[in-house]
Structure 1
Amino acid sequence: MNSNQQQPDLDDEFIREEDLEEVIDLDDQPTDDIEEDNEEIDVDVDDSIYSFQSHEQSVFCCHLSHDNRLAITGGQDDKAIIWDTTENGLIRFDTGGHHKDSVVFAKFNLNSTMVATGDMSGVIIVWNVEDGQKISDYEVGNDLNWLLWHNIIDNVLLAGSHETWMWRLSTNKPQCRTLQSFGCANLVAELFRDGRRLAMGYEDGSIRVWNLEQNQIAFTIQGHLAHQTTVTALSLNLDDSLIATGSANGVIKMINVKSQKVIHSFNLDKLVDDSDDEKQENSIESLQFGGQNCLVIGSSHIEIWHVPSQTKRNQIPLSRGVSKLSVDSNNVNIVYAGCLDGVFRVIDIRTGEIMNEKRGHRDQILDFAISSKSDFVLTCSDDSTCKIFKIVEH
């Protein structure tokens, strides 16, 4: 099925209240513009416990099943591969021949019975994990910007390009819905933990929160209150009361969800480039709220800001910048950083200390996935390899 086929009509129960379970408050859990450089990185050591080398070109995305036994990786060789992390990389199946462009997104659904793969041409395919059979396929046009499964309902898939698409997969009554585009692409998105709302950042700098049950906009930040350049990163805090957004020119905005207003806006520090003594703008590549009421910001370096006081606590210089940040789901005081120098870093949010570094890639890390127990990480790189690193207990 693709976008030029007739889509099934929707009823009022696309997102049903009974599907949405109570969400655990993470606060109650224990607290314990980057210039691309394609030169190969010299690596003297390899800290990985396993290296998966079945891709032929750069690997852009990776994800782990809920039990951590299966991995999916997708790359520039126009295919995604599902393989076993516990049996020396035994390949379950691959998507060879079905995608005609680089696979840039690959995600297991909530219970890991299905997996979705999306390529740069806008083709999305949903697969049965058990037998590798294709379940559905969709076309959203060029420039697929994000792809995610619903965080509570296991058969609802969302994607963003120029429009926002939402599908409910069903053998009896499949459904499709589109959210209005307002003339520009949506580039980043994150679901609220209640599963009822979706926050999105747009190409024109605006931010919108959608109510998915009602298929309506809850509120919009636009005009002079919004970013003046493309929104490149977005994050919700641990109780969904704040949204942080970052833009291509290094501006961060903090939005209060209840008041629906921008409560703070600031610029990421410009660093001095030693080669020409000129200050460089920093595109925000990733944002993550963490413990201690902090916001961790990744660009050419990492900054840790204390949200209530709106002050910077720490700054961590990096040789080549950050591709992705992720806060530990088991310890909100720990943040992980996949870096463009090929190093995976573990950082203590409270002190700004780099607690651990994992080396082994010969090019930039493009994506990573943390296991559910935070005991290992799967990384993928421009060097065409995927690696599993044991994370030291912290």
Structure 2
Amino acid sequence: MDNNTEGEAIEFHGDEEIIEVIDLNDTEPCPEDLADDLQDVGFEDAEADDDEGWETEDEMEAEAQQDDSELTFSKHTGSVFCVSLDPATNSLAVTGGQDDKAYVWRVSDGEVLLECTGHKDSVSCAMFSHDSSLVASGDMSGLIKVWRVESKEEIWSFEVGDLEWLEWHPCAPVLLAGTDDGSVWMWKIPSGHSKTLQSPGCQATCGKVLPDGKRAVVGYEDGSVRVWDLKHGSAVHVIKGQDGYLGALTCLACNKDGSLVLTGSMGGCSKLINTATGKVVGVFSREEGKAKGPKNEGESNSVESVGFCNILPLVAVAYLDGTLSIYDLSAQVQRHRCQHEAGIVHLRWEESSSVVSTSSLDGVLRLWDARSGNLLSEYHGHTEEIFDFTINREASLAVTASADNRAKVFCLQRPDR
């Protein structure tokens, strides 16, 4: 080292000869030097000047996960399959989920009023009785329980075969259920007195008590539809064969007075049935409801949900391929096709308007104007598909149930309000 020129250093590697001569007066700044220099920088001013070009991690996450909801109910530890509002006040919701539980909670603040436990499988059905005094919860294994909301006590339970659907009578404490073996059960609650509607030997896939309270319409896996007299337990009309479907029924809905029933099937066809005569009075074909594109006979495009508009002669049919078709009942022609990017799971008409809402596999709730076919608004917040949703009477809020283990409350805002 004594032979080095001033300002130079020799770098050694083990026993090797000199590898490199480094000018110590001309070295790159070390981290300590940079730290000293940065002390003189006005970070507050620089941050203010450059703020528009940067996003914090929280801001980026908020942008990626937009949430338009007013309240999130997060008590469930699995997917939330169903939701219903109490018909008396619309202030309470009941949700059922994959965690084998149902919860009754207040829509305004999410407070749990009743936890429905004791189920053996996912709770796929949960709903209030006509006067909101009772709530029924049913799991996929067929265990059904009824709870008194005010006292928070279980007052009745019964076990059937695998449960397909559950439905309260519109004006009496009577509960109906359809099962995998095709039976339709009817119980008086809480006495438990029961009656069974005869099975055709296949799954009872969907059912609805008509507004008169005297009849029920049930759809089956074999493509048949039956209109039942509840008092006598007999089938008034059987729609099958050419008038029925080739595939299983997936959904059905009735108009306000119960004179018409709209049904949907796995094959993508929807039929309108007169409940007084049992005659098919309208057919809305799969091809009319399909989005434009190459025809693919192997493509499944089932009807996932149907519904009637209360104020106009319109019906809506939602397809798995993401098409929402609005049909004119008088002319039986398609008026509008509203396309979604993902398959539609459920639709609901507002009670006193021409607005129809849809939930889809992309986790978005959408509102459509059936008069024009225009999209009115979208509501984001779920990270998985929305399995079910409901809207209050005033159409001011919606409550959703999703595979992301959450139920959410959305305040519905539209330009016409």
TM-score by length of 2: 0.79
Alignment partners' CA distance in 1, 2:241 and 2:400: 38
Q: Distance in 2 between matches of 1:259 and 1:80?
A: 39
What residue in structure 2 maps to residue 102 of structure 1?
122
After superposition, the C-alpha distances for 1:320-357 in whole angstroms (9 at most, x for unaligned) are 121111111132x1211111111111111111111111
Partner of 1:73: 95
CA RMSD of aligned residues (A): 1.7
- For 2:333, the equivalent position in structure 1 comes to 311
Are the aligned partners of 1:253 and 1:262 in contact in 2 as well (CA < 8 Å)? yes
2:308 matches 1:289? yes
1:145 and 2:167 aligned: no
Paired position in structure 1 for 2:402: 381
Q: Does 1:229 align with 2:251?
A: no
Contact 1:82–1:94, Cα closer than 8 Å, also in 2: yes
Q: Of 153, 173, 176, which residue of structure 2 is paired with 1:158?
A: 176
Maintained 8 Å contact 1:43/1:361: no
Partner of 1:209: 227
State whether residues 147 and 159 of structure 1, in contact with CA within 8 Å, keep that contact through their aligned partners in structure 2: yes
Q: Distance in 2 between matches of 1:127 and 1:239?
A: 30
SS at match of 1:285: strand
Amino acid at match of 2:166: L
User: Which of the pair has more CA radius of gyration?
Assistant: 2
2:303 partner letter: I
Structure with greater helix share of residues: 2
User: Within 1, Cα distance between the matches of 2:187 and 2:139?
Assistant: 17
Report if the CA contact (8 A) 2:209-2:217 is conserved: yes
Per the alignment, in what secondary structure is the counterpart of residue 209 of structure 1? strand
Instruction: State the distance in 1 between where 2:407 and 2:368 align.
Output: 22
1:176 aligns with 2:198: no
What secondary structure does 2:303 align onto? coil
Q: Which residue of 2 aligns with 1:254?
A: 272
SS of the residue 1:214 aligns to? coil
Partner-residue secondary structure (3-state), 1:224: helix
Q: Deviations over 1:213-236 (max 9, x none)?
A: 222211110122210100111121
Q: 2:131 aligns with which of 98, 103, 111?
A: 111
Unaligned runs of 5+ in 2: 1-62
Q: In 1, distance between residues paired with 2:296 and 2:157?
A: 48
Q: Which amino acid aligns with 2:221?
A: E
Secondary structure class of the residue paired with 1:145: strand
Matches within 5 A, 1:351-370: 351-370=372-391
* Equivalent AA in structure 1 for residue 301 of structure 2: N
Q: Once superposed, which parts of structure 1, at least 4 consecutive aligned residues long, lie more than 6 Å away? A: none
Q: Identity rate of aligned residues, in percent?
A: 38
- Residue 121 of structure 1 deviates from its aligned partner by 0.3
* Equivalent residue for 2:282, pick from 264, 289, 292: 264
Structure 1 CA distance for aligned equivalents of residues 315 and 248 of structure 2? 20
Q: How many residues align?
A: 344
TM score, norm. by length of structure 1: 0.83
Structure 1 CA distance for aligned equivalents of residues 276 and 148 of structure 2: 40
Q: Read off the aligned partner of 1:105 and give its amino acid letter.
A: C
1:337 to 325, 338, 358: 358
Q: Deviations over 1:222-280 (max 9, x none)?
A: 12221010011112123322221111010111222333211232422333668xx8463
The CA deviation at 1:174 is: 3.9
Cα pair 2:291 2:339 within 8 Å, conserved: no
| Separation of aligned partners in 2, 1:239 and 1:261 | 17
Instruction: Output aligned runs, 1:20-39, within 5 Å.
Output: none
